Amino acid sequence: MTRPIAQIVARHFSVGLSDVYAKDRGCAQVALALAGEFVPFAVNVAAAEASETVRPFLNVAEQLGALFAGLSGDYNQIHTNAVFAAAGTFGKRVAHGLLVQSIATGLAVQSGVIEGTVLAFRELECKFSLPVYIGDTVHVEIDIVDIKAFPRLKGGNVTMKYAVVNQDGAAVQRGNWVMLVKSRG
């Protein structure tokens, strides 16, 4: 039996969502490798040449886990029950892997690399390397590894190699994203 989102929010949220977001934006190293004449609209070539570092990050607060459980219907006790999780493999509750993946794409938008330019998220390849615990802080590191122009679509595929990194500097998720991105003009 699924529970209404309102019940999840009423039961688990003791602070507003704005408290979840850190006030300091920090943490996504973006190294851009531009190929051919296709250049994603959001890319600042001068900044790319200077290896500009942008640093958005997010604390994986309990409120986010509760909301994600309500939205997805995944109430697995490893995510939602501290007593159950304490006796398990990881010794405490872990965040949903797909919640962390969603946070990573949001952080990519906040970094400015794909803000306002993505036409479609086309492919996702991901390995969950380490657990992300409730209360961990994560950021995303992105390298543009391939660009393929599709002039008829007025854009192209941008392949991004990414790693989600926790507060200890450990990569907890890694993989590739392929997004269809608008070109300039």
Q: Where are the domains of the chain?
A: 5-182
pLDDT tens-digit readout, 25-76? 222 222 222 222 333 333 333 333 344 455 688 999 989 999 999 999 999 9
pLDDT tens-digit readout, 172-185? 999 999 999 888 76
Q: Can you give the pLDDT at residue 55?
A: 64
pLDDT at 3 over 70: no
Confidence of residue 92 (pLDDT cuts 50, 70, 90): very high
Residues with Cβ within 8 Å of residue 169, at least 6 apart in sequence: none
The CA distance from 34 to 113, in Å, is: 13
Q: Can you give the pLDDT at residue 112?
A: 77
pTM over the 0.75 mark: no
Q: Which helix (H) or strand (E) holds 122?
A: strand 118-128
Q: Could you tell me what percent of the chain has a pLDDT over 90?
A: 48
The CA distance from 9 to 44, in Å, is: 39
For the domain spanning 5-182, the CATH number is 3.10.129.10
Check if the beta carbon of residue 133 is closer than 8 Å to that of residue 64: no
Instruction: Give, in order, the Cα–Cα distances in Å from 17 to each of 13, 60, 96, 122, 149.
Output: 8, 11, 18, 29, 38
Q: What would the mean pLDDT of 105-128 be, rounded to a whole number?
A: 89
Q: Can you give the pLDDT at residue 54?
A: 52
